[in-house]
Chains A and B, each alone.
Chain A
Amino acid sequence: MTASRRDWLVLSLGMMALIAAIGLQVDRDRRFPRSAQESDQVLYVRSGAALKRLTLGFNGIAADVYWIRALQHYGGDRLIKIPGAVRYQLLYPLLDITTTLDPHFNIAYRFGAIFLSEGYPGGPGRPDRAIELLRKGLVAMPHKWQYYHDIGFVYYWHLRDYKASAEWFQRAEAQPGAPSWLKPLAATMLVQGQDRASARLLWEQIARSEEEWLRKSATRALLQLDVLDQIDQVNAAIRRVPLSPGERYSWEMLARRGLLRGIPADPTGVLFVLDPDTGRVTVSRDSTLYPLPDEPKRLQ
């Protein structure tokens, strides 16, 4: 065998060994799933202050790592389909560690607050923790009007405390560089906080935000508001249809009566769901817009 042919044989053997190694890795992952080992490790250090010392000068990169872990934790737990499973229990500690390691980690405060206040099962439903996190951000950056605004928003949207909400919007408005729309917003909040129109106004402002992720969630919230309008219209129409005895609501029945031409769909294209007994229309669980924000009953 010539030297050159032997060399190429060595190279192909090496490549084969690397491929075999990947095979072994896949096999091992099948026997011993990775995610099972994960949670222990994350819990290992819970104190952000301790971690700050442990990571020496590399707080920034460590904060990035914990931010990615927080995202993974949040995203991963959203996918769990088991009802009643304990979820998101590490979300706050991870965000807390992230922001302790890097107190100027803007997106971790703002998006973290959205994660935390999101209602179960889309999030842990902890608006109190969201406000805590944003207040921590204000300690590091006392003039960030966005954080005042976000706290006001959490009070408005999740806690329905319109007075507190208006107060925080006013504080936001007092910060340097705050946009002019905050002032009317504070006023509206006091007078007609319960109005869906003011919710739309608020989300539209957020949709103009410079942060892409905030824009994304605002777009989704605006779509949800559209869906709420749509559902209101459909429900109003259905309520006008009298039900004969023994009859149940169905899209076919409504179509027969000339009420609807087809099955209405939400803006993402997923068909609405009709309750055959009550005739109430809701958004499908398959839709990305599910669950819709719950509004106080008297508003509808």
Chain B
Amino acid sequence: MRAIKTVAVNVFRESVRDRVPYNLVLFAILLIASSFLLGQLTAGQDVKIIKDLGLAATSIFGLFIAIFIGIGLVSKEVERRSIYALLAKPVSRPQFIAGKYAGLVLTLAVNVAVMTCALYLILGYMSWTESAAFKATWDAPGADPAILKALLLIFVELMLVTALALFFSTFSTPILSAVLTLGFYVAGHFNADLKNFDRIVESKPAVWLARGLYHVLPDFSAFDVKTQVVHGLPVPGWYLLTTVTYGLTYIAGLLLIATFIFARRDFK
């Protein structure tokens, strides 16, 4: 446990030294600037747009961090040979993988938490300055607690992307890992289309293949409840629970297989 924690804290420190927190500044500027501009331009929809923007930016910034740091977690250590000295210390390879993963998840958690606070601050300010009559036209309240549901699923989704990136980087090159992770992310977002493939194709093997892919690919589209939350549509607690459990189980599977591959690897 101590080894995992130590490795994780070092990953966090690396991401801070690699200037990852700058994305938070960018995020804040994006939100503040757009809330100011939208106030001048649109009528009534600015809170919705800020929510859309905030959630999309949280997701996309997090995605970049998860992929580009995630693929380097293991491969960079191997490439720069810093892993040689590390693995001669009392750190097992499974502990190394777990620590690396936990470290990036910690980075992402801090990142998403700061973004959440920034988003609520802006939304709170916007609701506070608007008249009650104007607020009545909104689909959902300004600083709506339901946004946390979308953010929770975004965070679990980012954890899943990280696990995927780490998984690929245990056996392929960083570039290939990035391509594969991004590919799976995109494919996973078109998952619903795969599920309904039987509506457009009659060939049984093709339908089976699509069905198989639907189940095997990580089901990223399930984590996207941004639209529902922004429009004030209900997102049932059961849906959150099953989707989060699904995500965590899938992550566990990926990390265990990554550990298996990594544990048997030679560092030539």
Contacts and interface: CB of A to CB of B under 8 A. Distances in A.
A44 B227 contact: yes
Contacts of A25: 215, 219, 222, 246
A154 B260 CA distance: 62
Interface string B245-268: 110011011111101100110000
Interface in A31-73: 31-32, 34-35, 37-38, 40-41, 44, 65, 68-69, 71-72
Interface residues of A, number: 37
Q: Chain A binding site: helix, strand, loop or mixed by DSSP? A: helix
Interface string B23-42: 00000000000000000000
Nearest to A68: B193
B26 to A, nearest CB: 19
Interface string B221-260: 0100001100000001011001101100110111111011
B136 interface: no
A15 B216 CA distance: 11
B172 interface: no
Contacts of B196: 34-35, 38, 72, 76
A43 to B, nearest CB: 10
B252 A14 contact: yes
A14 B254 contact: yes
A69 B243 CA distance: 25
Contacts of B254: 14, 18
B239 A32 contact: yes
Contacts of B253: 14-18, 20-21
- Looking at B228, B252, B260, the one whose CB has the most chain A CB atoms below 10 A away is B260
A67 to B, nearest CB: 10
A241 interface: no
A75 interface: yes
Interface residues of B, number: 33
A72 B246 contact: no
B199 A75 contact: yes
Nearest to A40: B227
A112 B122 CA distance: 45
B44 interface: no
Contacts, number: 93
A10 B262 CA distance: 11
A107 interface: no
Contacts of A68: 193, 200
B21 to A, nearest CB: 27
A247 B189 CA distance: 63
A14 B245 contact: no
A24 B255 contact: no
A140 interface: no
Contacts of A40: 227-228
A14 B236 contact: no
Interface string B102-129: 0000000000000000000000000000
Contact of A10 (B239, B242, B259): B259
Nearest to B233: A40
A21 B222 CA distance: 13
A22 interface: yes
Contacts of B246: 21, 24-25, 28
Nearest to A65: B190
B94 interface: yes
B149 interface: no
A17 B193 contact: no
Interface string A1-26: 00100011011011111101110111
Contacts of B193: 68-69, 72
A31 B192 contact: no
A109 to B, nearest CB: 18
Given A22-B215, A31-B238, A41-B227, A11 B256 contact: yes
Contact of B199 (A13, A16, A72): A72
Contacts of B236: 32
B195 interface: yes
A235 B222 CA distance: 56
Nearest to A26: B215
A14 B199 contact: no
Contacts of A11: 256-257, 260
13 contacts: A3-B263, A7-B260, A14-B254, A14-B255, A14-B256, A21-B246, A24-B245, A26-B215, A32-B236, A37-B228, A65-B190, A69-B193, A71-B200
Q: Which 5 A-B pairs have the closest CB atoms?
A: A14-B256, A17-B253, A18-B253, A14-B257, A21-B250
